[in-house]
Amino acid sequence: MKTIKIILLVVLSLGAFSCSDFLEEEYLAGANTEQYYTSAAGMESLIASAYVTNKIWWAQEEGYDFSTAGTDIYDYGQQHPQQYQYTFTTDFNPTNSRLVILWVEFYRGINACNDAIDILSDPERTPFTEPKTKVRLAEVRFLRALYNWLIVETWGGVHLSTEPVKGVVLEANRTPVEDFYSLILEDLDFAVENLNAGDNTGSSDFGRVTKMAALGFRSRMNLTWGYYSGDNSFFTAAANDAQSVINSGNFDLWDNYADLWELENNDNNPENVWAINYSRTEYAAMNVDPDTYQSYQRAGDKPWDDREGGHLGHLMFGMQYDIIPGMTRDVENGRPFRRYNPTMYLIDAFHEDVDERFYGSFKTTWIANDPDTTRLKWPRAGWHSDENDPLNGKPVVVPGDTCIFFYKGVFPEDDTLIENDVLQNYIWHYERNFWTLDHSYMFNPDGTIRGEKTNDRNLCFELSKFLDPGRPAANGTGSQRGIRDCYVVRYAEMFLNAAEALWKAGDGPGAYNLLLPLANKRSYDGDGAALLASYGINGGADLTLEFFLDERAREFCGEQ
């Protein structure tokens, strides 16, 4: 193996933070780690610290940056502080603060897993009974597989760590991608074989790895490695794992896609196979020492100690509604950080006349909520200036009116769209009395975002999946911390994994039959065959990789 000179920091944290009881561990300063970890309390603390690494990626800006954005479906928004990640200038280099923190924290998590695996694999040192040892060992091997997957898909064949590390490592070996996936699948095989159906399914265990989580994630990994290796046996294995979850009877699909994202359904969501649990408490924080990464911060980066933690998706995909007359920032409509804008490719991927996922995923309408009606009144640049005009002297928008409406189509040519006269940089629909953008204003013909018409990318179709109207404040303290859990493995994925795997293995009809139950639920009238036909799929022979990629975008956009 070729050796590369890097600094691999693997500092293991005893402290652990989360909303779940099993992660609310107490930090014991000065404890002898070996002695402490061989106690039951110490091992539980170590395992909890291994889970915490998830909170640097899932529903966090760093994770969105290297999973959702910069793809066919999402581009940077107006306030993304590191837009060079998408324009690929030389400013995007290995010292990028977001790459650094992911690198360090992933290896920190893997080291916690390796420490736990080392002790739990030794009958003389494990503090648990044999059955409990198997369960906890299965959990940390699952987590090691998850973090290794994130590493290899972000950086490729870099350092593969399989043993506990103490201190600072100054050399790392390049490792073939094949070796990563070999260990990933080996760890997941262990997790599936050693977790029973009822393990970690109690209410106090929410967020722990379960057998269904291990099967679901192994399905994803088998499908992925099937593409890498070209070995059809992995596609068969992926289909089998996914169908095991489907046939378990533990999960269900919502009749209305929007219900999946209702906050009241967060805690008992039948589509959740495995999630990262968040809350509004101090345990939602990422537990990152701001000083560790401060030297990598650049102009525009948000200071680490300004981050409240929790599910931050509600901040990232918002559009700047609160600058438009008639609107003021409130909890219900969110605090828009404007990090990411959907591309034309994503918006056009939906057939919203038959597919409920477009309006279940995106917000297109805002109702005026600003009690101050003096901000803007008629007439404006001659519009409604006649003294007999009933709107002369009246507010342009009053509370309760439709204030903003974004249209996926193109308004008819005889509609009057007033640019700049009513308000500089904004477009007013004269006949319908609202601020607006349609498809032709939002996107250029070549598919790029039309920056000058979207007010420098601060206006867009807003991903509404993660809105959190229960936050204690619209601004300042409490306005960031989202309470949503972040779904890592979702039931709908199992239908797509099984269908795609069967298609790759040569069973087109079987693949089509597995797409139908999901399509039935995602269509307005329950006619999944008609929904699939609208996308050009009338049977297994019509299936293509492009369809599966587009279908995953429709189902999972924004979900990493």
Worst-scoring range by mean pLDDT, 265-274, 287-296, 513-522?
287-296
* Centroid of chain to Cα 452: 28
pLDDT for residue 3: 37
Range of weakest confidence among 49-58, 93-102, 157-166, 336-345: 93-102
Residue 29 has pLDDT above 60, yes or no: no
Q: Tell me the pLDDT of the chain averaged across its residues.
A: 91
For the cut 50, the answer to whether the pLDDT of residue 85 exceeds it is yes
**pLDDT range class, residue 32, cuts 50, 70, 90:** low
Q: Which residues are CB-contacts of 248 (< 8 A; sequence separation ≥ 6)?
A: 197, 212
CA distance 102 to 291: 15
Nearest to 503 by CA among 217, 235, 231: 235
At 304 the pLDDT is: 64
Q: Thinking of the domain 1-176+279-312, which architecture would CATH place it in?
A: Alpha Horseshoe (1.25)
Around Cβ 556, how many Cβ atoms within 10 Å? 19
Give 8's pLDDT tier (boundaries 50, 70, 90).
very low
Angle subtended at Cα 208 by Cα 214 and Cα 113, rounded to the nearest 5 degrees: 80
Tell me, what's the pLDDT at 23? 52
Least confident of 6-15, 338-347, 422-431: 6-15
Residue 6 or 392, more confident: 392
Q: What is the pLDDT of residue 300?
A: 66
The CA distance from 71 to 61, in Å, is: 15
pLDDT classification of 154: cutoffs 50, 70, 90: very high
Split at pLDDT 50, 70, 90, the class of 92 is confident
pLDDT digits (tens, 9 = 90+) for 501-542: 999 999 999 999 999 999 999 999 999 999 999 999 999 999
| Mean pLDDT of the 463-472 span | 96
Query: Which two tokens mark 347?
Result: 């918006």
Q: Specify the pLDDT at position 18.
A: 35
Residue 369 carries which side chain, given as an amino acid letter?
A: N
The whole-number pLDDT of residue 465 equals 98
Alpha-carbon distance of 548 to 223, in angstroms, equals 13
Decide if pLDDT at 5 tops 80: no
The model's pLDDT over 118-138, given as tens digits with 9 standing for 90+, comes to 999 999 999 999 999 999 999
Within 31-144, strands assigned E span 74-76
- Residue 395: phi, psi to the nearest 5? -60, 145
User: pLDDT over 90 for what percent of the chain?
Assistant: 81
Mean pLDDT of 349-370: 98
Mean pLDDT of 55-65: 93
Residues 182-232 pLDDT 10s? 999 999 999 999 999 999 999 999 999 999 999 999 999 999 999 999 999
Angle at CA of residue 133, ends 214 and 102, nearest 5°: 50
Domain residue limits, the chain:
1-176+279-312
